[in-house]
Copies of this chain bind each other. A is one copy, B any other.
Amino acid sequence: MPTAPLTIEARDGRARAGLLHTPHGDIRTPAFVPLASTATVRTLHASEVATLGYDMVLGNTFHLFIQPGHEHIERMGGLHEFMGWRRPIITDSGGFQVFSMGHGSVADEIKGRRDGGHTRRMILSIEEEGVRFRSYLDGSERFMGPETSMEIQAALGSDIALAFDECTPFHVTRDYTARSTERTHRWLDRCVAWQRERGPEGQLLYGIVQGGVHEDLRAESSAYVSGAGVDGVAIGGSLGQEKEQMREVVGWAAAGIGRDDVPVHLLGIGDVDDLLDMVALGIDTFDCATPTRLARHGTAIVRDPERRWRLDLERPEWRESREPIDEGCPCPACREHTRGYLHYLARANELTAIRLVALHNLTFMAALMAGLRDAIAAGELRAYSQRVRSGDAPF
């Protein structure tokens, strides 16, 4: 690494605020990274995402591999050019999605919920070389291993690539988790080797810490990953069934990194209280489907800790409401429209509802992260987090 990718500008306890440097510019940290899984943040075009205050989006290696294909995106000038987004992009490795097909819904599994059995299992084999599976698009047989994943991410031209890992589910034995984590480490070494030789200039590579909910496995994995010559560390896999356990598991993983200058990403976490907890543990970046997925279901993120910061606009109680979602919020849904109107649009399945609530939710998350950065810079993280937990922030 010619220069450290992370400049830490302020610290408050274990939390830190700074700048993460990438070929397409800097990301102000701690940062929330909206999903542009399919090369678009749902209902928004790229320049709108920048206007909302986001420095980076996350592209999905697996989905873009299946459709429209990474070679196509490369021919179109890379993912930035393809989607008209000139700022940093992080791409996940595809491991999460590939293994979703084998383990049922990984999203359920890593939270310890049993798979209902309705998820199609389309994995053909998991071997040391990689994973063979069927495309959900056309049923064709496809393969993804560490080198494939790195090759796809190179073709996409992302600023930050993630190493290919097995996203170990919750409902497996300690022994399975240990063996799976070791294989993830071997895959990491192959990713590092491939990227050093053939990766695009300046692309950062993050390794992924696995180890399930086992303290020793997490500590070992963190030590292994952070010592493997990576530019950053991502924490993945099952973080347990409860928030208490999540704090514990992430604490083990973060502590195990051993070095203080490594940027740390937490995969798939985005609830308001979790962000407060995890920023306090020193996490720099987060990605999560929540803001846009909730929008699709008519649920706004609001300053209401007692309702888990969620407002279901489809509930009958909002039908006649002439209040905005949040009177302090500067988004168009709040400045120009009522809960009653959004209730009607959401119940009528109008696309305008999805868009307006997505704009609101992403405005909330951007404000929350800006507030956290300012609080860390001012040494007031605890007080600010308390304000958020009381419903007095981020607006």
Contacts and interface: CB of A to CB of B under 8 A. Distances in A.
A356 B38 contact: no
Interface in A63-96: 67-68, 72, 75-77, 82-84
Nearest to A40: B352
A82 B244 CA distance: 43
Interface string A332-343: 110011101100
Nearest to A41: B352
Interface in A23-77: 38-47, 67-68, 72, 75-77
Contact of A47 (B75, B332, B344): B332
Contact of A39 (B43, B333, B344): B344
B76 A40 contact: no
Nearest to A321: B76
Given A40-B345, A355-B351, A47 B336 contact: yes
A105 to B, nearest CB: 21
Nearest to A353: B40
A336 B84 contact: yes
7 contacts: A45-B337, A45-B356, A68-B344, A68-B347, A76-B320, A76-B340, A351-B354
A41 B345 CA distance: 11
A40 B77 contact: no
B84 A322 contact: no
A350 interface: yes
A321 to B, nearest CB: 9
Interface in A296-319: 319
Nearest to A351: B43
A309 to B, nearest CB: 23
